[in-house]
Structure 1
């Protein structure tokens, strides 16, 4: 049994004429006749009553038509499904990012993406620092990753999402809260509450402290932004965080740094990666989301 035989048979059942069936399918009438006869021979049944001018199905033909239509419908659905794969509307994206980016910048990103592209599944992994995201990209474990780092020109496998200033977080009653801006030298004697080592914030703050002539006295390191902010509010120490994390906090004081310190956030993919249609759709969605919300 061949697919074309089923196609011819279903078309004949609808048009009830061999000639019109051949014209509709752009084949010769003898080809249609031969295919139907071969189908009947294989089944050992007469499917079409040819005794009248108008072609009609026999009872056996009516019963077989139900099966043929199901097969044709399934084949059509399969073609459409595969076309969506080819067009990029189906697939999977493996995406890595630091927890604070998801919590503070992309709170509804995944919901919006699934609403727009319900047939693309997301495998989201959280990593404590951008170095780990870069490593996972290089190993091929991720399709895309969010990276935080110094402000610089992007490379061919990066897309800039935003740049943000970093501020000093001070307890509300801290003497430096009266200043308009705070220099690193001003906080040389303070306890620091930092993100984990290997993060951009930890490395850059330590570097800037070194430039100011001191090593930061680190009281605690944690990956939890809520913990850092609460400890600052409790007076345990000071911290330096991106403004997108601190928002409109009112239980501690924010002061800009002098000179300013900024962080750059990019969407990264592995160097030399050939972006699939699914990749391109995800990348485009992230770009549009960033332009609207960041």
Structure 2
């Protein structure tokens, strides 16, 4: 048994795919398969169930996974403790991110960190806030950037506040309203574009509607999308209006193609969080990136 085999196994379990594990480790799929086959032969047991669409661990594989992950991270901790850490930091930081921070926050943080540590690589998986948190609980990634806080045992560390805004087509009807903060009832009858079910922005919006006696089912929903850029382009094209993050709305862009309105009766400030799993030993590279991010935002740990 060697660490290349263990690393291959851990990545297949994390990503539920031989091909994605190969991408994450910059190896070929046949190499990943060969490592796992050799490991299974040595242990004399099957670790990965290959009969399904996804590559899932067998019962034996689930038992071995926690030990394998601990071995890899302990090895890396030991290596870095014997080296000049700051000069030699490298490896892959695996990130789970919800749509908005993944699109508009994390890339700049990656670039800034890589300027200090050029050998570091990143692997980021984007989904909605709920899925990103669940992936971290399942140990698919060491760090997350999420737009809501759950009671799930993860560590949530606040980074920055954000609020919701209304974006609308740049047409005569909405130009007359420019400079105003619009109440919910004024645009609730407009054709609407909504985010996916697990979106924190959507959950907050639907809760605000219910508070004002407007059932979410009463909206005229013309499209549901999980891409923020697709929503913005659709609104610019005149399909309807949408509630999105101010960070994603990009107020300073003059060529955005849509209008942005504050909401008069919509107390919607929320946090973006840096999230980690208290039950795993984080790799030194991920730990350094975490400290770097918290330093960028002047954040303090909020463990819950």
* TM-score normalized by the length of structure 1: 0.62
2:163 is paired with a residue whose SS is strand
For the residues of structure 1 that align with 2:269 and 2:106, how far apart are their CA atoms? 19
Q: Which of 160, 172, 175 pairs up with 1:162?
A: 160
User: Aligned partners of 2:213 and 2:186: how far apart in 1?
Assistant: 11
Please name the residue that 2:41 is paired with. none
Aligned pair in 2 of structure 1 residues 84, 99: CA closer, same or farther (>3 Å)? farther
CA contact (8 A) 2:96 2:124 kept: yes
Instruction: Classify 1:230/1:85 alpha carbon distance in 2 versus 1 (closer, same or farther; 3 Å).
Output: same
* TM alignment of 1:82-97, pairs within 5 A: 83-84=82-83, 89-97=89-97
Q: 2:145 maps to what in 1?
A: 146
- For the aligned residue pairs, the C-alpha RMSD in angstroms reads 3.1
In structure 2, stretches of 5+ residues that fail to align are: 1-77, 300-304
**Correspondence for 2:235:** 232
Measured against aligned partners, the alpha-carbon deviations of 1:56-102 in whole angstroms (never above 9, x if no partner) come to xxxxxxxxxxxxxxxxxxxxxxx987723878834432111134323
8 A contact 1:169–1:241 mirrored in 2: yes
Distance across 1 between alignment mates of 2:121 and 2:84: 13
User: In the TM superposition, what is the alpha-carbon distance from 1:253 to its structure 2 partner?
Assistant: 1.7
Q: SS of the residue aligned with 1:213? A: coil
Counterparts in 2 of 1:263 and 1:81: CA distance versus 1, 3 Å: closer
Partner of 2:275: 268
Provide, for residues 141-200 of structure 1, a one-character-per-residue CA deviation record: whole Å limited to 9, x for no partner. 1100111127x99x8712111111211112222347246211111122111111111111
SS of structure 1 residue aligned to 2:196: coil
1:5-24 equivalences under 5 Å are: none
- Secondary structure in 2 matching 1:84: coil
What's the counterpart of residue 241 of structure 1? Answer: 244
Report SS of the residue matched to 1:108. helix
CA contact (8 A) 1:242 1:262 kept: no
Cα distance in 1, alignment partners of residues 140 and 288 from structure 2: 19
Aligned to 1:254: 260
Return closer, same or farther for 1:181/1:225 CA change in 2, 3 Å cut-off.
Answer: same
Question: What are structure 1's unaligned runs of at least 5 residues?
Answer: 1-78
SS in 2 for 1:177: coil
| Conserved? CA contact 1:170–1:177, under 8 Å | no
For the 8 Å contact 2:101–2:146, the answer to whether it is kept is: no
Instruction: Give the C-alpha shift of residue 249 in structure 1.
Output: 4.1
Q: Quick check: 1:171 aligned with 2:169?
A: yes
Name the CA distance, whole Å, in 2 between partners of 1:125 and 1:108.
Answer: 16
Taking structure 1 as reference, are residues 217 and 84 closer, same or farther at Cα in structure 2, changes over 3 Å only?
farther
Matching of residue 115 in structure 1 with residue 115 in structure 2: yes
Does structure 2 conserve the Cα–Cα contact (< 8 Å) formed by 1:205 and 1:240?
yes
Q: Residue 220 of structure 2 corresponds to which residue in structure 1?
A: 217
For residue 293 of structure 2, give the secondary structure of its aligned residue in structure 1.
Answer: helix
User: Counterpart of 2:183?
Assistant: 183
Distance 2:100 2:272 in 1: 12
Task: After TM superposition, list the pairs within 5 Å mapping 1:189-208 onto structure 2.
Answer: 189-208=189-208
TM-score of the aligned structures, taking structure 2 as reference length: 0.61
Cα distance, 1:218 vs. partner?
Answer: 1.4
CA distance in 1, matches of 2:80, 2:282: 21
